[in-house]
Amino acid sequence: MTSRHLPSPSRRTVVRAAAASAAAVPVLATASATSAAPARTAATPSFAHGVASGDPLPDGVLLWTRVTPEPGATPGSGLGQETPVRWEIAEDRAFERIAASGAVVASAVSDHTVKADVRGLRPATAYFYRFTAGGGTAGSVVSPVGRTRTAPATDAAMDRLRFGVVSCANWEAGWFSAYRHLAARPDLDAVLHLGDYLYEYGAGQYPAADAPLRGHRPAHEILTRADYRVRHGNYKTDPDLQALHAAHAVIAIWDDHEFANDAWSGGAENHTPGAEGAWQQRVAAAKQAYFEWMPVRASTEGTVHRRLRFGKLADLHLLDLRSFRSRQAFVGSGSVDDPERTITGRAQLDWLKAGLAGSDAAWKLVGTSVMISPVAFGALPAHLLEPLAGLLGLPKEGLAVSVDQWDGYTDDRKELIGHLRTRGITDTVFLTGDIHMAWANDVPVRAATYPLSASAATEFVVTSVTSDNLDDILRVAPQTASLVATAAVRAANRHVKWIDMDSHGYGVLDVTAERAQMDYYVISDRTRHDATSAWTRSYRTRRGTQRVERADRPVR
């Protein structure tokens, strides 16, 4: 390995292969990727899955790519020779001012994915990076160029931060136009992906369809390490997803569909023990593929909960709400209030509480894959109640709690909200995905008496990139059904300031010392490659208020 730096950084560059990132995840017994293979004619490698960066630090960033060493070495195949890969990161697109460089090896052990955890960079600086693979008789090839940005210095007084925010991208349901529009924005510091980056179902299963817009690979439901690798690889052939990763650092957490629908620590709604193998083996397979294929630093515990700092303006606390949670309760059983049940796990909740209490940042941002605000339902017509309940994880009888969200684990929520109140922790903003709708909420201390009682925090929920919303399930035009449903939800939940049940799109969170504002953008048609994007609403919370209010226009 070699390194070359500009004069100012003092730390050496740190490089790790993707195999090291996945070392904390148990390796399943599958076809050996390291077994001897017959001699092959040398082939020129390629970068068919693009490049990516993630988890920016003040002095570094994580770089990612996947090398295809020869045509047959497809994701999950276990085929392909070891391939040397060089990486470079520079302050200019022409790569005349190299900040750091190094070398790694792509091998079948890590599905020919590689990562470089680069350090010694300048804070709050845009960089360009690329990879070069191969050499010798096979020749070499240079990857596409990616752009990334480091975080500001820990003690920097920032004027503003701006993040794209997305979740829930079902390959079969539509094109990833939301990613293309975010990729085209030069003003973002990073993009936050709040989970359901991919879906585990077989072709035509979700949504049920004889002829999906585009079919999953593999076509069957994914269960094994090879299956999850193939699905990740297929997603990263999408040009809009590749454009997003090449344009911005992506900060990602998982939700359930990276594993299986409604996952919990011991199983999932969409997992049949025996017929689909052991749950822990499936989870291990999914996690290994995730850490191989995503620009995410893996923890030794095989979890994605972590904390990133953006100067004195914001601390970003990222949660893992699948690995440690108790099984979802039956609605109406009373066990949703059981203090022995948890959505975070004891250690993670203590970690979050300590991080929030110890933060000196103006804003405490919390990335949570499922909604923390309570949701109760008033009366709804039967034809609306069933699909809406499905989106929110409610039973079809329409009882008043969503057991897959924080509503199903009320003791954890009560403890966290109580912690915010007793410790005087203000300006906490929860950033959420999962339910394929956009919301702007206050997080009430006692929902039953709100707004006479206090709000402890605020929450911005973004809609899906493509996954089905209320209109898609009912197969009706926008607002045909949602006006009635929205009115019913807001009447029973006065802390909910706005809901969009009709759209697909993304959010842009703009943070200054005075306020945090979410601008909501919608895509014209998820089934069209050339879908346009338009601003629809903006909501903000002002410093010190713990309340959401409507803003007249998006931030420019």
pLDDT for res 517: 98
Asked whether 11 and 33 are in contact (CB, 8 A), the reply is no
pTM, rounded to two decimals = 0.90
Q: What does the H/E/C string look like for 160-208?
A: EEEEEEECCCCHHHCCCHHHHHHHCCCCCCEEEECCCCCCCCCCCECCE
For residue 133, being part of any structural domain is answered with yes
For residue 352, being part of any structural domain is answered with yes
pLDDT for res 26: 35
In the chain, how many domains are there? 2
pLDDT for res 301: 84
123 plus 192 within the same structural domain: no
Helix, strand, or coil (residue 57): strand
Q: Is the dihedral of CA 257, 391, 431, 516 positive or negative?
A: positive
Task: Tell me the chain's radius of gyration from C-alpha atoms.
Answer: 23
The strands making up 496-500's β-sheet, listed across from edge to edge, are 306-310, 314-318, 363-368, 428-432, 455-461, 438-444, 496-500
172 plus 142 within the same structural domain: no
Give me the helices (H) in 450-545, please.
470-474, 482-492
CA atoms in the 13 A half-sphere facing the CB of 153 = 5
384 plus 253 within the same structural domain: yes
For residue 7, being part of any structural domain is answered with no
113 plus 177 within the same structural domain: no
222 plus 347 within the same structural domain: yes
For residue 72, being part of any structural domain is answered with yes
Asked whether 542 and 524 are in contact (CB, 8 A), the reply is no
The strands making up 113-118's β-sheet, listed across from edge to edge, are 113-118, 60-66, 51-57, 250-252, 190-193, 160-166, 505-512, 515-523, 533-542, 548-551
The CATH number that applies at residue 470 is 3.60.21.70
Q: What is the DSSP letter of 449?
A: G
168 plus 191 within the same structural domain: yes
Helix, strand, or coil (residue 84): strand
297 plus 320 within the same structural domain: yes
Among residues 125, 149, 173, which one ends one of the domains? 149
For residue 84, being part of any structural domain is answered with yes
Residue 126 lies in domain: 18-149
Among residues 149, 179, 208, which one ends one of the domains? 149
DSSP state letters, 97-144: SEEEEEEEEE-GGGTTEEEEEE-SPPTT-EEEEEEEEE-GGG-EEEPP
Below-50 pLDDT ranges, the chain: 1-40, 395-398, 400
278 plus 396 within the same structural domain: yes
pLDDT for res 381: 59
For residue 68, being part of any structural domain is answered with yes
Helix, strand, or coil (residue 66): strand
The CATH number that applies at residue 91 is 2.60.40.380
145 plus 239 within the same structural domain: no
138 plus 178 within the same structural domain: no
Q: What is the DSSP letter of 335?
A: G
For residue 154, the tally of other CB atoms under 10 A from its CB is 14
For residue 334, being part of any structural domain is answered with yes
pLDDT for res 27: 34
What would the pLDDT profile of 19-68 be if each residue is shown by its tens digit? 333 333 333 333 333 334 444 456 789 999 999 999 999 999 999 999 99
Unique residue bearing structure tokens 């460089």? 101
131 plus 43 within the same structural domain: yes
Among residues 120, 149, 178, which one ends one of the domains? 149
395 plus 455 within the same structural domain: yes
pLDDT for res 376: 81
- Short-list 537, 510, 509, CA closest to 521: 537
